[in-house]
Amino acid sequence: DTAVSQTPKYLVTQMGNDKSIKCEQNLGHDTMYWYKQDSKKFLKIMFSYNNKELIINETVPNRFSPKSPDKAHLNLHINSLELGDSAVYFCASSQVIKLAHEQYFGPGTRLTVT
């Protein structure tokens, strides 16, 4: 009964490949996010999405695209992978109630591009 789950946990692939990471939340939240955490542990928001709006952080290359088949899922697709894409990717969700945005994070996917 994991609240936010991600698959796979580890992903090793070569430069130029296309890959996807899946995320599911069973909390009934209306907003989901993707974060990238680099080797220095900096956490950067990549996308936020609810059933009305996709917000893309301006620094995210267009090789990255979120896909949401329904409210409980937000998958991350990455085209033409580069070495610099190696990082841990976290999915998160929240239910926005007034100013409260408590975010629940998934376990993370460690992506290694060789």
Partner 1 sequence: GQQVMQIPQYQHVQEGEDFTTYCNSSTTLSNIQWYKQRPGGHPVFLIQLVKSGEVKKQKRLTFQFGEAKKNSSLHITATQTTDVGTYFCAGPKNTGNQFYFGTGTSLTVIP
* Sequence-separated (6 or more) residues with CB below 8 Å from residue 77: 18, 19, 20, 64, 65, 66, 67
- Draw the binding track, 4-43, toward partner 1 (x: CB under 8 A; -: no contact): ---------------------------x-x-x-----xxx
CB nearer partner 1, residue 14 or residue 88? 88
Among 16, 55, 61, 112, binds partner 1 (CB under 8 A): 55
Interacting residues with partner 1 (CB under 8 A): 31, 33, 35, 41-45, 48, 50, 53, 55, 57, 90, 92, 94, 96, 99-108
